[in-house]
Chains A and B, each alone.
Chain A
Amino acid sequence: MLGYQNKMLRIDLSNKTYSTEPLNMDWAEKYIGGKGLAIKYLYEELKPGTDPFSEHNKLLLMTGPFTGTPVPCSGKLAIASKSPATGTILDCSIGGHSALKIKYAGYDAVMFEGKLDKPGYILIEDDKIEFKEASDLWGKGSHETETILSAEYGKEASILSIGPAGENLVTMSCINSDYYRQAGRGGIGAVMGSKNVKAIVIIGTGGVKVNDIENTTKRLSEILREDTTSEENMFIYEDGTTAFLEACNDGGILPKRNFSDTTDENWTKYNGEVLLQYRKGKRGCGSCGLGCGNFIKIGDAVCEGPEYESIAVAGPNAGIEDPQAIVKANQVADDVGLDTISAGDVIIYAMEMTEKGIYDFGIRFGDKEKYIEYLKLMAKKEGIGADLALGVKKLSEKYGGEDFAMHVKGLEYPQYEPRGSWGMSLAYAVSDRGACHMRAYAPNDEVFEASIPPYTAEGKGKMVVDLAVYNAVKFSLILCDFWPLGMDRMAELMTLITGKEFTEDDMNEVAMRVIHIARAFNQREGFTRKDDTMPKRLVNEALKSGPAAGQKIPQEAFEKMLDDYYAVLGWNNDGIVPDEILTSL
């Protein structure tokens, strides 16, 4: 199949050697690339019970057949491993330009194995691979690291780096690129840190061959105009993800004060209209057809962003309304290398614990200065940061407040309140990497939609399966979230680029395989229905404000949604993938 380089680069960090091998094209036909192919490789190569911080864990960078071509919105890179935060499979999706550089360097994928004996960075320059010293970079923030390496290698080099959080094995640490893009969740940065890899520098001067390139390029220019940049999709270029703030507030799913309520009457102080006044420019990823990035400067707060999640967690969910503080929180989290969502959720849990007098973490809702200070302490595991760096699951097991420790399997809750969108509680519970909004984006079908009732379990099992199917194949191609292309378009693009015929049914089959294999990985690690959970807050406490006022989710309703979800997928009532499916994967 064209589009692929048919090559994986395997780097042995322990012995400082490397080799290349053909990409497994049987697997590529079944899983395509990105999320799906990465999980397949790790399913086959990682033994169950592997310690995520040991040299036996692997870090896999995976592109797809579209990467490096003018398929719009194809600039994302999947980075996968076993999660140190949850022990599940973990796949992240990072924007920027590194995916394209890997492809232009000649590789579909890069697999990192073992660990360096001391801090270093890896240079991948086409077919030249070098192991470099990084003792002078170790300890520096991601931003300073990128500045230094960029000065040495030039603007065309893509740099993936970790901050002190990843170095200190904080299970909420991220991998950064282009200063402000992240592979954010599940502690992916800590895996890189455990391998003593401070950065990966990628220079690629080659190219990507596709089927019938001149006609394909013509067709892609048509698709860009007629589909990708059609007026319905332009909100993401015009406003970025700030567009979700008002919709979530009106929709009753914008969380307030550690998910204790929704609807912030002060939201107009930090909403898109306010933030975008400080916008200095727009940016997208490589091959982007839309351009969601807002480069914002308010005083000394500088960030490409903040995105919806980062605004909500450092804003209403923390009792903060100062837009400059919200932007600063994002900037600091990026630089020290922390996931804004998980780190923010820990801080707001700590705020509630302090306010309730259960344990004094020394911070209350609204304390924007301490929020920033605590991010820095968490990254270094210093002072109160040593405790906070444990994450809400372990922290609540240690100090209490488990009912409002908002997480699933140890991954902290994204900023959509499930009592306002019941299907979201299911989506968070069954996501393959812990509480994640990107596996099945329930608000799309239950809130940002005209006639589906949000406060019922009826039909939600099927709804979440359909949403999970869509994202599973989309993130295996790998394409960006913000182009809502149909599965028929996905099949057309696969046929166009690879020269092999793909149909919509094929796309559905790929999606199902990906969902099954992610579950199979977790099942092998011991995860079952008992781990697909919902925090007690959602069961016991009714919301007080907004359209969902009075709503809480009865445990029976949640159990019914789980029953339905498993049944649609053909799993047993304990959420186990049966053998006949396992053997087909």
Chain B
Amino acid sequence: MKIKVLLRGFLVKYFNGEKERVIEVEDGLSARQVVERLGISIEHKSFGFVAVNGMRVMIDDQLKDGDELKVYPRLSGG
């Protein structure tokens, strides 16, 4: 399936400074699996959350072809 990945904050370093890329992965992967494929650590305290098609989802939710996955770092403060 084709997934458009958008990165926010310092995470753009994983795309060499670009904010978005379309990637090709196996069908049925979860957001967690796609994020891990990019080399981003979900366990690190700097990891925030993911949104699919503009809405926050849980990290283990499944993606489908054509989804837009946005990956956020942790935003501290208020």
Contacts and interface: CB of A to CB of B under 8 A. Distances in A.
A236 interface: yes
B75 A235 contact: yes
Q: How large is the interface on B (under 10, 10 to 19, 20 to 34, 35 or more residues)?
A: 20 to 34
A444 interface: yes
Contact of B74 (A251, A252, A449, A483): A449
Given A448-B72, A449-B74, A547-B57, 4 more contacts: A247-B72, A250-B51, A450-B49, A450-B58
Contacts of A233: 76
A46 to B, nearest CB: 28
B47 A231 contact: no
Interface in A422-451: 437-438, 441, 443-444, 447-451
Interface of A: 231-236, 241, 243-244, 246-247, 249-252, 437-438, 441, 443-444, 447-451, 453, 481-484, 546-547
A505 B78 CA distance: 25
Contacts of B54: 249-250
Q: Would you list the 5 A-B pairs with minimal beta carbon distance, nearest first?
A: A484-B76, A547-B55, A232-B46, A250-B51, A450-B59
Interface string B6-43: 00111001000000000000000000100000000010
B48 A250 contact: no
A252 B51 CA distance: 10
A451 B60 contact: yes
B58 A252 contact: no
Contact of A450 (B50, B55, B75): B50
Interface of B: 8-10, 13, 32, 42, 45-51, 54-60, 70, 72-78
B47 A441 contact: no
Contact of B10 (A235, A247, A546): A235
Nearest to A547: B55
Nearest to B70: A250
Contact of B77 (A241, A246, A251, A453): A241
Contacts of A448: 48-49, 72, 74-75
Contacts of A252: 55-56
B23 to A, nearest CB: 19
Nearest to A443: B78
A413 to B, nearest CB: 13
Contacts of B45: 232
16 contacts: A232-B45, A250-B51, A250-B55, A250-B70, A437-B78, A441-B77, A441-B78, A444-B74, A447-B56, A448-B48, A448-B49, A449-B48, A450-B32, A451-B59, A481-B76, A481-B78
